[in-house]
Structure 1
Amino acid sequence: MLDKTYEPATAEDKHYAKWEQTGSFKHGQNTSEDAFTIVIPPPNVTGSLHMGHALNNTLQDVMIRHKRMQGLDVLWQPGTDHAGIATQMVVERKLGAEGIKRRDLGREKFLEKVWEWKDESGGTIINQLRRLGASCDWSRERFTMDEGLSAAVLDVFVRLHKEGLIYKDKRLVNWDPAFETAISDLEVIQKEVQGNMWHFKYPVEGEDGVFLTVATTRPETMLGDSGVAVHPEDERYKHLIGKNCIHPLTGFKLKIVGDDYADPEQGTGAVKMTPAHDFNDFEVGRRHNLEMINVMTPTAHMNDDVPEKYRGMDRFECRDAVIADMDELGFYAGKEDHVHMVPYGDRGGVPIEPYLTDQWFVDAKTLAEPAIKSVEEGRTKFVPENWTKTYYEWMRNIQPWCISRQLWWGHQIPAWYGPDGETFVEKTEAEAIAAAEKHYGKTVELTRDEDVLDTWFSSALWPFSTLGWPNDTPELVAKHYPTDVLVTGFDIIFFWVARMMMMGLKFMETEPFHTVYVHALVRDEHGQKMSKSKGNVIDPLSLVEQYGADALRFTLTSMAAPGRDIKLATSRVEGYRNFTTKLWNAARFCEMNECVVTNDFDPKDAKATVNRWIVGEVAKTRIEIDRALSSYRFNDAASVVYQFVWGTFCDWYLELAKPLLNSDNEAAKAETRKVAGWALAQILKLMHPFTPFVTEEIWEKLGDKPDELLITSEWPQCGEDLIVDDVVKEMEWVIGMITGIRSVRSEMNVPPSAQVPMILNGASDQAKGWLETHWVLLSRLARVSESSVDAEAPKGALEMVHDGATVALPIADVIDLGQEKARLEKAIKKAEGELKKISGKLSNEKFLANAPEAVVEENKARLAAEQDACDKLKASLEKIVAAM
């Protein structure tokens, strides 16, 4: 028996526990040879659920539940990422609060503390995903530092190294001085800073009184300058190419080189070259063999390669000293205010430095070639397609991938060094010792590389390492690799998607997925990006608490239009909570009228037109949902099910079925009960991927198979053979007639209780027959007292056209036409005043320039709404005047 109201919290806990206890999420329960596999983008073990996670995992769950009910052998592979720098930061801060420093503990003891934290506090986000309803196969949950995944990492590293695709090199990297490690571009955030551009004069050697004026936003790096670049065709400087400038502070000779990088139109056209502290300068330096001078320590203090005065200074302290000294020497040429972007480490919170250091790199260019070809040849597609262009831009301009990190938490690089620096890369220390003995002809002491791998390296193997590769799991790998679709955000197309493509093609010889669905951002209701600083972050779990998981899931799905960011308002979630309430109330109506949810009824047995119609509408809805989900149009699928359940089934069918349910015709009553129960059962199945909890609760209470769970029931099979065109046409005529009459009554302010006669003129014989057949429905739902066919309409009758016929509604006896005319004229005048007011505001340049974007958009929306309302009032007035 269904309670009067649906309580999400109780139902969600109960059904999720039952799903897990019965193994409903596990792969292998469907014996189909056809598999459907998705790997979850592994969230950081330090993370907690945000709205992006909620969207990403809801869309995945919709697909997984849909495919599971369709009978495929479904695997949704879950897990978490060890998140090297993020996790190390959490544990270091925790220890710091206890007065303990990482280096005081030592590597081994520190890693024990990290594992302790991971076991106690890590994985919070996994439990939060459960709250959302994610039906992952939790029995297969993986962690990127698991023994099996670590084995895959070692295998890949060693094999790539032996092929020359992993190597050690001295190159520039993003360096975080707070954590003293290289970091990826994704861990760098650009901040707009109001700074300065300082100008300095470098004297040209042997050219008395000749200077090259250069500019910089980072004067401290000038101590590492080793050249000056000018454009080779710049007439001002062509004659100086090959000569040197003399550095006023270091005395170094700065080679003047001709390079296209120098833009004659920018500044003076002369650019100072600091190859060890600027990514562009690094490339110019390599082209012209300029010296690479690293002038900083790992903590961004000045090192011993600078003049003694500056050694040990913090980089910003050194900046001030360099400016002052250049000014004192007469080489300072002034400064100007300069707004520019400064890169910060997202974890360390300090400006990062382009830093020259020895690191491990992957030859990404070589690995990228087959990954590019895969997309070019259509074996992997992006949805929306426009992301293909972004993928190509990144991949075709790819640089060596820095994979080493100066951390302790992570996969330690399997490289050992001999006494002379010879490198031995093997899976184990024993293998490295054996290789060293072979090389040296004797036993030597080896030192292990202290660095760990970039977390993107291990997550690049996720689609196959989670299946047990490279160990003996050929059947599992054969069935579930490649996976089907990857659901991800656009920000990690390069960092994760591209690297999975490269590794999958290299080691599995085929792409890891055939489709990459790139979802949009979830913004606030005004279109602003959510951030803590703006105070506009919406917590998905608070929405789950307030409105239930189903309401949030359906909101996100319904708004997930390809390529369009989601503007999320709490009111939308509340609205879709009302949708679940609507379904609940419809189920209660069916229960009270003995409409049994059953799988035994054959919908082809329906005889009554209304019942045949709803059977066809169910089939049409199933077909449209399948079609939308197969093309990743999640919003269309949600719209189809919403319109059908709320509009077609609840608002129309249940109303149209009431006369049959209340009739003395036992056969018609019995059939309608079966059809309504069958239709509700199909609705519960069709809605289950979107709103799993409320549908499972209704199924449990109303189903005739109490041991069968909805989550593992069969997806509806009803097809086009149930859609009868003549039936559809007939019911569309009935519904259109009722809707039209209701609309006219509403526009004319006819009291709801008033009964109005109708006159049908110019209708076909078929339509006249429909009028007679469905008169009981028309009279009750349209509040029509009597009907006449092909009769003259009296004065004061309103007219509407329906299916080519004229419908006249005499209302002069029901409302005062003169009074209604006056009311409408007054309302129009008020609406026009409001329109003038808003239009004036939007045509005011000062308002447009100063008002926040959200306020401007709100006024535009109000203007459109007021204009629409005013147009409708005028249309109603025209009808009243015509009837007078």
Structure 2
Amino acid sequence: MTTPDPTRELPKSWDPAEHEGRLYQGWVDAGYFTADATSDKPAFSIVIPPPNVNGSLHMGHAYEHVLMDALSRRRRMQGYEVLWLPGMDHAAIAMQTMVERKLAAEGLTRDDLGREKFIERVWTEKAEISGNIGEQMRRLGDSVDWTRERFTMDDGLSRAVHTVFKQMFDEGLIYRAERLVNWSPVLKTAISDIEVSYDDVEGELVSFRYGSLDDAEPHIVVATTRMETMLGDTAIAVHPDDERYAHLIGAELDHPFVDRRIPVIADDYVDPEFGSGAVKITPAHDPNDFAIGQRHNLPMPTIMDDEARIADTGTQFDGMDRFEARVKVREALAEQGRVVKEVRPYLHSVGHSERTGEPIEPRLSMQWWVNVATLAQAAGDAVRNGDTVIHPKSMEPRWFAWVDHMHDWCISRQLWWGHRIPIWYGPDGEIVCVGPDEQPPAGYTQETDVLDTWFSSGLWPFSTLGWPEKTADLEKFYPTSVLVTGYDILFFWVARMMMFGTYVGPQLGGDNKVPFDNLFLHGLVRDEHGRKMSKSRGNGIDPLDWVERFGADALRFTLARGANPGSDISVGEDHAQSSRNFATKLYNATKFAMMNGAALGELPDRASLTEADRWILDRLAQVRAEADAGFESYEFSKACEALYHFAWDEVCDWYLELAKVQFAENDETRSHATSLVLGTVLDELLRLLAPVMPFVTEVLWKALTGGESLVVAPWPEATESTPDTAAAQHIDDLQRLITEVRRFRSDQGLRPGQRVAAEIDGLDAAGLTASRAYLDSLARLENADDGFAATATIDVRLSSATVTVRIDTSGTVDVAAERKRLAKDLAAAEKELAQTTGKLGNEQFLSKAPDHVVAKIRDRQQVATEEVERLTAALSALGGV
């Protein structure tokens, strides 16, 4: 038997800052997180969604990391060879924008430096700031393999990018074409859909007239919120069944400013019920118009340059910013008498660049594209065939809705920082794609654009393991076991990885059809009121702030306790404080148990154990199964809730107290058995909590067991035993009985440690004869002497009988003082009840208050009602009402 020495092993109290840094470095130095590709253990692998190199981890990152770490730590304890691979993304737009901002402060532009010097500057900035994220990950306790850390622009990943680009180009899956893109006039580049956010903006809807100003002559009225785009109009569309315009279809009307005739065309896209039923078509600056332009083979003149200034229209508006032109065009049309009516304000949705904040400009531009048809089909089939399983399953329709209707992907960006597209142009317009081991022909110049960041991060699951080389890491750890990421980037990153993974899979051989076997989609972290965290609201939470104030375990448990597949979670300081209290409770309870006899060794035969011992062991087995089921199904909340309530409500609040009674009986055999049961329960509980709370459990477990480390300790395994249902019922009855007596004592104002005489009837009928010692100890009762006269009676209905407890409180309660205290509490409770009832009876309040506020008022009302009833009864018992 192992008997720990807590006085030597454990400090007086739990101080996370004292332990966390030292413990983490010890784990890294011991090589616990370093994966062995030659191991014969089953593999478990996760690649980290790479955070942007120029940023820092926000609460959403912390949430994601805690879940990945919990999965990794548990699998490591289960005997898997675990690789959790860390790395960062070069974040092309974000990083270039940051460096250009710094240059601007120095009075410079990137053009002043030139491409080569600018790239050198970005690399320098990257080296200075990239360590910040790594330090944050260490503070969180991430059990990543630091020896395999990768970066999306390191040599190995660059080779993977060039290899896959070359293969896809040669197969015709990558092509160059002039298409409509989201254009950022500030960044002067195309940007992806994920980098565009849509906000409602107040503008003006202006109706103006094409054609003759004479109502008797051909004319048509259209409306727009973007007057400047009419300079690029090449048609007016009406619905083919709209009789109002049937006579105009095929007619051509003069453009007011440009030497161009505007045809009236018929297209089913037009809604005849909206506005005038006629729509102006600007194919080069609107996605819907572009589609119509393709269908009708319309000209597509681009009327803005890369900074969104009017250009090449041959009008007086050339050189104007688009917003200035919007006003000037309207004024010029008004002067001609063409403005029919103006509506102010007009609320409409406008896309904005998330990086720079300005409205994006749909713009026709020559770009590089991926033909996604076959790739998207394969990505969809991978889920349909079960090769990749999405958790929760309810997210599958969203997945199919996206991949089954995916448009070709614009992969070129007009930036300098990033993977430069490996295309070279010859002097006579020749185009050559150069692979990683090839040289361009003499006299050729390279494409200036770089690839979309999602292109390189889409290769992440296999490029980080050494592809295109056939490495031991690829052989052992690919496909990865699970991808943990937010549902908000399901379409942008996950879809890219699935397309690339299914594309390169056949090259890897075997069953490598997909980049990950499971896809676990978590929700967003919201504030305690359910609002999305954002800088503008000022409700963001720095995870490292919580680590400093509450400890890493508290942060981790708070996030894991609220985590379920696909669901958002709300967190606030109250949650973190509760988790910190849990860590402290666990620490104090374990230390107390160790000082009072907890030990490790082989358990005695179950028949020789007390009912309390069998009950807690059975509950441990049940909670172990609940935790396992929760972790396996990615329902972290269920696992954490089961462990929390078992630890706090059953082990700390009940079994420790019952065990103290057993220790006090001076029965060596029973005390020995209790020591072993207590030690077994704590040993397994600490191991079950370790994936989520690795620091406090490590300190406690090593002190309890003398073991090397929980990181490499075996995960608790299920044991075969038939639960003792009779013992469980008796303990449940005992708890109910003790709780009722305690409540009565509290209502009567008895001091917690004050013992009172009692007579008890019905224990035999309830099967609790052997539990009298527990009852006396935990309810602070003592046997009645001769001449006992009860002053109060408590009847407690249990599962099989009613137990009557008669108590003599004479001389133990200052009746007048207690009546005064209860009356004061009753008055406060009645005031609270009146206030809450008044609010809930106010229809104006109910109509305006948020749901969560109303819910809180209802909860307060319910508590106040119960308090009034309880205090009234207590006063009645004292003769006070």
**The two structures share one fold, judged by TM-score above 0.5:** yes
Q: Which moved more, 1:858-867 or 1:809-818?
A: 809-818
1:644 Cα deviation from its structure 2 partner: 1.4
User: What is residue 319 of structure 2 aligned with on the other side?
Assistant: 312
Q: Which moved more, 1:234-243 or 1:832-841?
A: 832-841
User: What is residue 396 of structure 2 aligned with on the other side?
Assistant: 388
Match of 1:38 among 46, 49, 52: 46
1:543 Cα deviation from its structure 2 partner: 0.7
Give CA-to-partner distance per residue, 1:130-178, whole Å, 9 cap, x none.
Answer: 1101101111111111111111111111111111111111000000111
The separation in 1 between residues aligned to 2:314 and 2:838, in whole angstroms, is 66
TM-aligned CA distance change 1:374 to 1:779, over 3 Å? same
**In structure 2, the residue corresponding to 1:74 is in which secondary structure?**
strand
TM-aligned CA distance change 1:603 to 1:450, over 3 Å? farther
Read off the aligned partner of 1:536 and give its amino acid letter. Answer: N
The separation in 2 between residues aligned to 1:3 and 1:676, in whole angstroms, is 21
The separation in 2 between residues aligned to 1:458 and 1:481, in whole angstroms, is 18
Give CA-to-partner distance per residue, 1:398-434, whole Å, 9 cap, x none.
Answer: 111100000111111111112222211121484542x
Whether the aligned pair in 1 keeps the contact of 2:54 and 2:91 (CA below 8 Å) is yes
TM-aligned CA distance change 1:163 to 1:281, over 3 Å? same
State, as a whole percentage, how many aligned pairs show the same letter.
45
1:778 Cα deviation from its structure 2 partner: 1.1
Match of 1:445 among 443, 466, 475: 443
Read off the aligned partner of 2:267 and give its amino acid letter. Answer: D
User: What is residue 478 of structure 2 aligned with on the other side?
Assistant: 481
Whether the aligned pair in 2 keeps the contact of 1:230 and 1:257 (CA below 8 Å) is yes
Give CA-to-partner distance per residue, 1:511-544, whole Å, 9 cap, x none.
Answer: 2223222212111111121122222111111110
Whether the aligned pair in 2 keeps the contact of 1:43 and 1:80 (CA below 8 Å) is yes
User: What is residue 840 of structure 1 aligned with on the other side?
Assistant: 838
Match of 1:580 among 583, 598, 601: 583
User: What is residue 865 of structure 2 aligned with on the other side?
Assistant: 870
**Pair 1:342 & 2:350 matched:** yes
Q: TM-score, normalised by structure 2?
A: 0.92
Match of 1:632 among 619, 631, 634: 634
Q: How does 1:746-785 map to 2 (within 5 A)?
A: 746-747=746-747, 749-752=749-752, 753-761=754-762, 767-768=766-767, 770-771=768-769, 773-785=770-782
TM-aligned CA distance change 1:848 to 1:128, over 3 Å? same
Match of 2:276 among 264, 268, 283: 268
TM-aligned CA distance change 1:460 to 1:793, over 3 Å? farther
Read off the aligned partner of 1:576 and give its amino acid letter. Answer: S
Whether the aligned pair in 2 keeps the contact of 1:798 and 1:879 (CA below 8 Å) is no
Give CA-to-partner distance per residue, 1:361-419, whole Å, 9 cap, x none.
Answer: 11123211121122223332322222222212222221111000001111111111122
Match of 1:144 among 149, 152, 167: 152
**In structure 2, the residue corresponding to 1:301 is in which secondary structure?**
coil
**Pair 1:202 & 2:210 matched:** yes
TM-aligned CA distance change 1:349 to 1:579, over 3 Å? same
**Pair 1:127 & 2:135 matched:** yes
TM-aligned CA distance change 1:663 to 1:808, over 3 Å? closer
Whether the aligned pair in 1 keeps the contact of 2:213 and 2:337 (CA below 8 Å) is no
Match of 1:661 among 663, 674, 687: 663
**In structure 2, the residue corresponding to 1:471 is in which secondary structure?**
coil
**Pair 1:77 & 2:85 matched:** yes
Read off the aligned partner of 1:646 and give its amino acid letter. Answer: W
Match of 2:197 among 174, 189, 195: 189
Q: Which moved more, 1:126-135 or 1:651-660?
A: 651-660
Q: Which moved more, 1:573-582 or 1:236-245?
A: 236-245
1:748 Cα deviation from its structure 2 partner: 5.4
User: What is residue 516 of structure 1 aligned with on the other side?
Assistant: 519
**In structure 2, the residue corresponding to 1:382 is in which secondary structure?**
strand
User: What is residue 740 of structure 1 aligned with on the other side?
Assistant: 740
TM-aligned CA distance change 1:800 to 1:737, over 3 Å? closer
**Structure 2 gap segments, 5+ residues each:** 1-7, 507-512
**In structure 1, the residue corresponding to 2:712 is in which secondary structure?**
coil
Aligned CA-pair RMSD: 2.7
Whether the aligned pair in 1 keeps the contact of 2:190 and 2:414 (CA below 8 Å) is yes
TM-aligned CA distance change 1:480 to 1:365, over 3 Å? same
User: What is residue 857 of structure 1 aligned with on the other side?
Assistant: 852
Q: Which moved more, 1:93-102 or 1:809-818?
A: 809-818
Whether the aligned pair in 1 keeps the contact of 2:826 and 2:867 (CA below 8 Å) is no
1:34 Cα deviation from its structure 2 partner: 1.6
The separation in 2 between residues aligned to 1:411 and 1:211, in whole angstroms, is 52
The separation in 2 between residues aligned to 1:740 and 1:30, in whole angstroms, is 60
The separation in 2 between residues aligned to 1:581 and 1:654, in whole angstroms, is 16
User: What is residue 253 of structure 1 aligned with on the other side?
Assistant: 261
**Pair 1:296 & 2:299 matched:** no
Q: Which moved more, 1:384-393 or 1:631-640?
A: 384-393
Whether the aligned pair in 1 keeps the contact of 2:683 and 2:704 (CA below 8 Å) is no
**Structure 1 gap segments, 5+ residues each:** 434-443
Match of 2:682 among 680, 683, 700: 680
**In structure 2, the residue corresponding to 1:514 is in which secondary structure?**
strand
Give CA-to-partner distance per residue, 1:445-481, whole Å, 9 cap, x none.
Answer: 21111111001011111111111111121x4223212
The separation in 2 between residues aligned to 1:36 and 1:603, in whole angstroms, is 36
1:800 Cα deviation from its structure 2 partner: 1.9
Whether the aligned pair in 2 keeps the contact of 1:756 and 1:786 (CA below 8 Å) is yes
Read off the aligned partner of 2:735 and give its amino acid letter. Answer: I
Match of 1:498 among 495, 499, 503: 495
Read off the aligned partner of 2:515 and give its amino acid letter. Answer: P
Read off the aligned partner of 2:535 and give its amino acid letter. Answer: K
The separation in 2 between residues aligned to 1:212 and 1:692, in whole angstroms, is 71
The separation in 1 between residues aligned to 2:320 and 2:862, in whole angstroms, is 66
User: What is residue 90 of structure 1 aligned with on the other side?
Assistant: 98
Read off the aligned partner of 1:860 and give its amino acid letter. Answer: A
1:259 Cα deviation from its structure 2 partner: 1.2
Whether the aligned pair in 2 keeps the contact of 1:824 and 1:873 (CA below 8 Å) is no
Read off the aligned partner of 2:95 and give its amino acid letter. Answer: T
Q: How does 1:545-564 map to 2 (within 5 A)?
A: 545-564=548-567
Match of 1:696 among 694, 698, 714: 698
The separation in 2 between residues aligned to 1:153 and 1:183, in whole angstroms, is 19
User: What is residue 407 of structure 1 aligned with on the other side?
Assistant: 415
1:744 Cα deviation from its structure 2 partner: 4.0
**Pair 1:651 & 2:653 matched:** yes
TM-aligned CA distance change 1:698 to 1:764, over 3 Å? closer
TM-aligned CA distance change 1:239 to 1:719, over 3 Å? farther
Give CA-to-partner distance per residue, 1:100-152, whole Å, 9 cap, x none.
Answer: 32112111111111111112222421210111011011111111111111111
1:849 Cα deviation from its structure 2 partner: 5.2
TM-aligned CA distance change 1:665 to 1:795, over 3 Å? closer
Read off the aligned partner of 1:462 and give its amino acid letter. Answer: W
Whether the aligned pair in 2 keeps the contact of 1:276 and 1:293 (CA below 8 Å) is yes
Read off the aligned partner of 1:782 and give its amino acid letter. Answer: A
Read off the aligned partner of 2:517 and give its amino acid letter. Answer: H
User: What is residue 229 of structure 2 aligned with on the other side?
Assistant: 221
**In structure 2, the residue corresponding to 1:800 is in which secondary structure?**
strand
User: What is residue 601 of structure 1 aligned with on the other side?
Assistant: 602
Q: TM-score, normalised by structure 1?
A: 0.92
Read off the aligned partner of 1:447 and give its amino acid letter. Answer: T
Whether the aligned pair in 2 keeps the contact of 1:76 and 1:135 (CA below 8 Å) is yes
The separation in 2 between residues aligned to 1:604 and 1:24, in whole angstroms, is 36
**Pair 1:803 & 2:796 matched:** no
The separation in 2 between residues aligned to 1:525 and 1:499, in whole angstroms, is 33
Whether the aligned pair in 1 keeps the contact of 2:819 and 2:878 (CA below 8 Å) is no
1:560 Cα deviation from its structure 2 partner: 1.4
Give CA-to-partner distance per residue, 1:234-256, whole Å, 9 cap, x none.
Answer: 11112221212221111311121
Whether the aligned pair in 1 keeps the contact of 2:163 and 2:436 (CA below 8 Å) is no
User: What is residue 334 of structure 2 aligned with on the other side?
Assistant: 327
Read off the aligned partner of 2:539 and give its amino acid letter. Answer: N
The separation in 1 between residues aligned to 2:346 and 2:372, in whole angstroms, is 36
**Pair 1:366 & 2:378 matched:** no
TM-aligned CA distance change 1:839 to 1:857, over 3 Å? farther
1:760 Cα deviation from its structure 2 partner: 3.0
